[in-house]
């Protein structure tokens, strides 16, 4: 699979577990994003990284901890989650050409279920 990949595709975890979601982009982009997609709700932007630096934390609870070791990889570390955190977590990347416009390319998502 090319473009933006995410692992795992499905994850079931208990509220006391610690797990990590991984995203990798093969497009040479410099910006990466985490989104949460829940039923009947809009896509919610969680975090933005640009050249490995976090530029946005959209009031996300601390039980979600992002990590961006380089421009191609993005992680979302999960701990002590709640059942309402169950959702599809989407990663995206973009070239971030500033005022020239910006298409975000999404990964296939990780379907997370918190028991």
Decide if 106 contacts 88 (C-beta within 8 A).
no
75 binds another protein (CB under 8 A): no
15 binds another protein (CB under 8 A): no
d(CA 72, CA 74) in angstroms, rounded, equals 7
Pick from 13, 19, 20, 50 the residue near another protein by CB under 8 A: 50
49 binds another protein (CB under 8 A): yes
- Tokens for 86? 């169950």
- Tokens for 7? 């692992």
Tell me which stretch binds another protein (CB under 8 A): 7-15, 16-24, 70-78, 106-114: 106-114
Q: Please state whether beta strands 110-114 and 87-94 pair in parallel, antiparallel, or not at all (unpaired).
A: antiparallel
66 binds another protein (CB under 8 A): no
Decide if 58 contacts 100 (C-beta within 8 A).
no
Residue 52 CA: distances (Å) to CA of 18, 29, 64, 74: 23, 11, 17, 9
Write down the least CB distance from residue 32 to another protein, Å.
Answer: 8
Q: Of the two residues 69 and 101, which places its CB atom closer to another protein in the complex?
A: 101
For another protein, the binding residues (CB under 8 A) are: 31, 33, 40-45, 48-50, 55-56, 58, 90, 94, 96, 98-104, 106-109
């Amino acid at each position: 699979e090319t473009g933006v990949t995410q692992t795992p595709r499905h994850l079931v975890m208990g509220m006391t577990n610690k797990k990590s979601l991984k995203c990798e982009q093969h497009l040479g982009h410099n910006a990466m994003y985490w989104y949460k997609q829940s039923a009947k709700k809009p896509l919610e932007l969680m975090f933005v990284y640009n050249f490995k630096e976090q530029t946005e934390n959209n009031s996300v609870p601390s039980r979600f901890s992002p990590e961006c070791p380089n421009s191609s990889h993005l992680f979302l570390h999960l701990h002590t989650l709640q059942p309402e955190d169950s959702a599809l977590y989407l990663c995206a990347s973009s070239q971030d050409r500033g005022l020239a416009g910006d298409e975000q390319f999404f990964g296939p998502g990780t379907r997370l279920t918190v028991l």
